[in-house]
């Protein structure tokens, strides 16, 4: 699916920029950094597309509603 490729290309480009801009510094916690950078805007857009309906948003994401509520709280989206 082309959209998946577009998202992957954006993330790849952002990571390449991150490494280029390190300027000799050692990278750390990249996995957590990427997940946190992607998760919040993804949740914001999905919630908006679902009209704030958390049940629908959870279905769209393919996750349990309780998991979504936990992530909403973690990212202070309420």
Task: Indicate if the pLDDT at residue 53 is higher than 80.
Answer: yes
Q: Using pLDDT thresholds of 50, 70 and 90, give the confidence band for residue 74.
A: very high
Q: pTM for this structure?
A: 0.80
CATH dotted code for 2-74: 1.10.10.60
Q: What is the per-residue pLDDT for 5? A: 75
With beta carbons less than 8 A apart as the criterion, state whether 15 and 27 touch. no
Does the pLDDT value for residue 23 go beyond 60?
A: yes
Segment 14-30 mean pLDDT: 92
End-to-end CA distance of the chain: 32
pLDDT(4) > 70: no
Q: What is the pLDDT of residue 65?
A: 97
* Residue ranges per structural domain of the chain: 2-74
């Amino acid at each position: 699916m082309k959209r998946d490729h577009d998202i992957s290309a954006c993330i790849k480009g952002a990571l390449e920029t991150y490494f280029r801009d390190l300027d000799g510094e050692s990278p750390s916690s990249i996995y957590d950094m990427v997940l946190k950078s992607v998760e919040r805007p993804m949740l914001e857009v999905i919630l908006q597309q679902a009209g704030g309906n958390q049940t629908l948003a959870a279905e769209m994401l393919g996750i349990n509603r309780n998991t979504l509520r936990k992530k909403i709280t973690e990212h202070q989206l309420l």
